[in-house]
Amino acid sequence: HNKITTSVLRQYKSEGRAITMLTAYDYSMAKLLDEAGVDMLLVGDSLGNVILGYDSTLPVTMEDMLHHVKAVCRGTKRAMVVADMPFMSYQVSIKKAVKNAGRLLQEGGAQAVKLEGGTAMADTVKAIVTAGIPVVGHLGLTPQSVNQLGGFKVQARDEQTAQTLLDDARALEAAGTFALVLECIPDGLARRVCEAVAIPTIGIGAGAACDGQVLVSHDLLGLHSGFTPKFAKKYANLHQEIKAAVEMYIKEVQERQFPAPEYSFKMADTMLEKLY
Ligand code: KIV
Ligand code: NA
């Protein structure tokens, strides 16, 4: 397995090969997704919602991110691991931003970081890239700004905000980002961003024109029964399958059907059998 690098992703784009990215937050899922062949694993700050049970990404800390980035990296051989910079880890000062981005690589083991925002973040991105840390940009619906955006909705729906987003994309490219996540924008605008910048675009709710796609793996797998947004295609219904399996286990234990003899040890076996 050759590790996916920024130059491999550039090559994929030039070949017209679509880039695949999914979120991962732990060792076993990262291993599974990596073995399935996904190009990039995002330890998203959606960690806050999906794994930690917060109602936004704002409470997620650097320590939370590092804990999960380390676990994901231990399970990953081929995919590039991208770590989200959590809220307030890069907005306060450029110095703090570089330091925290560095921690996600040095302590966490990630290969790149992602942060939200456009032109206003250009100098921050430049400083992080100068330190030798690859950066992914994130435009459109940026969940860390939910209190400013006034909720989770499609962004840049008029020409003026569309122009701002195009300027943001150009500013991020000029600042040195190697890829751009575009979240919840009209597909026509995503197409214009793709024409405006040379770096790969990775869409989520941004239509088919992007160079790659990203989804929250729990949405794609149907791991939860709650709300999933329109753009999140459910490729499996694991919530139902897991629930059925657990209900079966409960029933078999209560009815004393499990463990049957084949799942038990005889005194004579214990000397011979290797358990793990
Ligand atoms: O945190 C996350 O999962 C993300 C993706 C939705 C792009 O930022
Ligand atoms: Na995120």
Atom of ligand 1 nearest to the CA of 215: 6
**57: exposed, middle or buried (Cβ count in 10 Å: 0-12, 13-18, 19+):** buried
Cα–Cα distance measured from residue 220 to residue 71, given in angstroms and rounded to the nearest whole number = 21
Residue 276 lies in a domain: no
Q: Find the 197 Cα to ligand 2 centroid distance in Å.
A: 22
What string of pLDDT tens digits covers the 276 residues of the chain?
Answer: 699 999 999 999 999 999 999 999 999 999 999 999 999 999 999 999 999 999 999 999 999 999 999 999 999 999 999 999 999 999 999 999 999 999 999 999 999 999 999 999 999 999 999 999 999 999 999 999 999 998 899 999 999 999 999 999 999 999 999 999 999 999 999 999 999 999 999 999 999 999 999 999 999 999 998 888 999 999 999 999 999 999 999 999 999 999 999 999 887 766 666 666
- Considering the domain architecture, whether residues 26 and 152 belong to the same structural domain is answered as yes
- Considering the domain architecture, whether residues 263 and 145 belong to the same structural domain is answered as no
- Considering the domain architecture, whether residues 173 and 39 belong to the same structural domain is answered as yes
- Considering the domain architecture, whether residues 252 and 173 belong to the same structural domain is answered as no
Report the number of secondary-structure helices (H) and strands (E) in the chain. Answer: 11, 8
Give, using CA atoms, the residue closest to atom 5 of ligand 1. 44
Residue 42 lies in a domain: yes
Cα–Cα distance measured from residue 43 to residue 111, given in angstroms and rounded to the nearest whole number = 11
- Considering the domain architecture, whether residues 223 and 251 belong to the same structural domain is answered as no
* Counted domains in the chain: 2
Print the domain residue range for 53.
6-237
Residue 166 lies in a domain: yes
Q: Find the 142 Cα to ligand 1 centroid distance in Å.
A: 9
- Considering the domain architecture, whether residues 209 and 119 belong to the same structural domain is answered as yes
- Considering the domain architecture, whether residues 104 and 162 belong to the same structural domain is answered as yes
- Considering the domain architecture, whether residues 184 and 198 belong to the same structural domain is answered as yes
- Considering the domain architecture, whether residues 134 and 228 belong to the same structural domain is answered as yes
- Considering the domain architecture, whether residues 157 and 217 belong to the same structural domain is answered as yes
**Residue 219, domain CATH:** 3.20.20.60
Per-residue buried b or exposed e for 29-42, using 16+ beta carbons within 10 Å of the residue's own CB: bbbebbeeebbbbb
pLDDT at 232: 96
Check: CB of residue 210 under 8 Å from CB of residue 203: yes
- Considering the domain architecture, whether residues 246 and 230 belong to the same structural domain is answered as no
- Considering the domain architecture, whether residues 60 and 96 belong to the same structural domain is answered as yes
Residue 1 lies in a domain: no
Give, using CA atoms, the residue closest to atom 4 of ligand 1. 44
